[in-house]
Amino acid sequence: MKRWFLILMAAVVTVALFVVAPAYAATSYTVQPGDTLSGLARQFGTTVNEIVAANNITNPNFIVVGQVLTIPDGATNPPSGGGGGTTSGGGGGGTTSGGGGTYTVVPGDTLGSIAARHGTTVAAIAQLNGIANVNLIYVGQVLQLPSGSTGGSSGGTSGGGGGTVPPPGGLGGGFEIGGQIAGYGHEDQMNYAGFTWVKVQHKWTAGQSADVVAGAIQEAHNKGFKVLISIPGNPYPSSIDFGAYVEFLRGVAGYGPDAIEVWNEMNIDFEWPAGQISPSSYVNNMLAPAYNAIKSVNTNILVVSGAPAPTGFDNDHNAWADNRYLAGMAAAGAANYADCIGVHHNAGATSPYQATGHPGGSHYSWYYQPTVDLYYNSFGGARKLCITELGYLSGDGYPGLPANFGWAAGTSVAEHAQWLGEAATLANASGRVRLLIVFNFNFTFY
């Protein structure tokens, strides 16, 4: 069963509670709306790494309004002259000095896009600049370019079959959080909650051009968010053109999303043809070729395996229970073609610390921690998890819940908010979760 929920914006603010505030110091700064570590580093004439070290920050993408930061000794306000700024190049990129030289990062850049533009590789830039996390660069950062780099093209390469595809799981990075959106308009609440990602879902149809998602990717980047594009097909398909789908994802990769989820809920006939549900078919015909296609364009894109529907129903025709489907994915080698494993936990009605008491029953899929344990252990801990839908539901303030959502009738908005915060706390502390997406942020329908 497909589960869609309305997440009240008041609830999402509580997600920020899992961050521990640093100690106060004589030289301090209180974070304001719109602040980023890179912006503060420029403002005070220091570096992101120095602020991170001074405040024991584990995730440089995550600071909270009201948080008090220690500013390292020796930091100053930047000079008022024009020597330190960046200027926009003619192709929309940052400032570049010739002959290898340097490049100044601008909004929307990734190491993958910079490497493609200058005719080099992510690995070469990372090695030259001592970058441990290839997902983490910041606006204003000056990168050394390898000798022999060229101006290149302004976009990613289309790729073919001849490039060397990196092994999966190599894209590092700490825990990050975001929300699935139906549009923008409340970015201040998203920033306050600590969201650095947005998830946008596109229902693919054979014959579409990848440019149908280009605007969503660009808008997310323009607003300062990383973007996960989840790409399933239309409901109740009778067949899937795997080749066309893979080529669509190759095209999407050229527009520089930060992550792509390869289909979702492929263990139920709402998303996959009835009678054809097969984890080996998903891995061999879709996930593996999609991974290779995406990485041939941009190695820096996080490839997320499609999250199965959380269900115990299994008749071998219309649905497979997700535990059986996961075992099949693992046996088919899914971990070889994913940077993280997609998870849906979108019908919570208890605290994520509980494993009993859900009105829906005792099946593990109703509970956060048993679900996380199942997905992580199904792959032997070889890959972290990307929870691409984390959802709770409350009918407070609304006329009533649809009958199919009666299990959420006892959940208050306060509980809703508390449980989101608790889930984020658990995910962050576990070391098992790479990305958590709240489902959802601002939908207005079930």
- For residue 43, how far is the Cα from the chain centroid? 28
- Nearest CA to 279 out of 311, 335, 315, 324 is that of 324
Alpha-carbon separation of residue 264 from 1, 46, 375, 428 (angstroms): 13, 43, 15, 24
- Rounded to two decimals, the pTM is 0.66
Within 10 A of 47 (CB to CB), how many other CB atoms are there? 18
As beta bridge partners, residue 131 has none
CA distance 16 to 67: 11
Q: What torsion do the CA atoms of 154, 156, 161, 167 make, to the nearest 10 degrees?
A: 140
Q: For the residues of 187-244, what is the DSSP string, one character each?
A: HHHHHHTT--EEEEE--B-TT--GGGTHHHHHHHHHTT-EEEEEE-B-SS-S---HHH
In sequence order, what are the residues at sequence separation of 6 or more whose Cβ sits closer than 8 angstroms to the Cβ of residue 333?
Answer: 283, 288
Note the pLDDT of residue 158.
31
pLDDT at 5: 36
Give the other-Cβ count within 10 Å of 294's Cβ: 27
Cβ-based burial of 248 (10 A; exposed 0-12, middle 13-18, buried ≥19): buried
For residue 58, the model assigns a pLDDT of: 65
Over the chain (446 residues), the average pLDDT of each successive run of 10 is: 39 39 54 72 79 77 74 57 32 52 76 77 82 68 79 35 51 84 86 91 96 95 95 97 98 97 98 98 98 96 98 97 98 97 95 93 95 96 96 83 83 89 92 93 72
Same fold, 18-70 and 102-144: yes
How many Cβ atoms sit within 10 Å of the Cβ of residue 330?
18
As a CATH number, domain 102-144 is 3.10.350.10
Q: What CATH class does 18-70 carry?
A: alpha beta
Closest by Cα among 319, 240, 315, 320 to 284: 240
pLDDT of residue 432: 95
Position 162 scores a pLDDT of 36
- Please tell me what DSSP assigns to residue 146: P
Contact between residue 161 and residue 147 where contact means Cβ atoms under 8 Å apart: no
Q: Could you tell me how many helices (H) and strands (E) the chain has, helices first?
A: 13, 12
> In CATH, what is the architecture of 9-13+173-438?
Alpha-Beta Barrel (3.20)
Angular region, 71: left φ>0, alpha ψ -120 to 50, beta rest = beta
Residues in CB range of 38: below 8 A, 6 or more apart? 48, 138, 139, 140, 141
CA quadruple 328, 330, 336, 338: dihedral positive or negative?
Answer: positive
Residue ranges per structural domain of the chain:
9-13+173-438, 18-70, 102-144
Query: What element of type H or E holds 384?
Result: strand 384-392
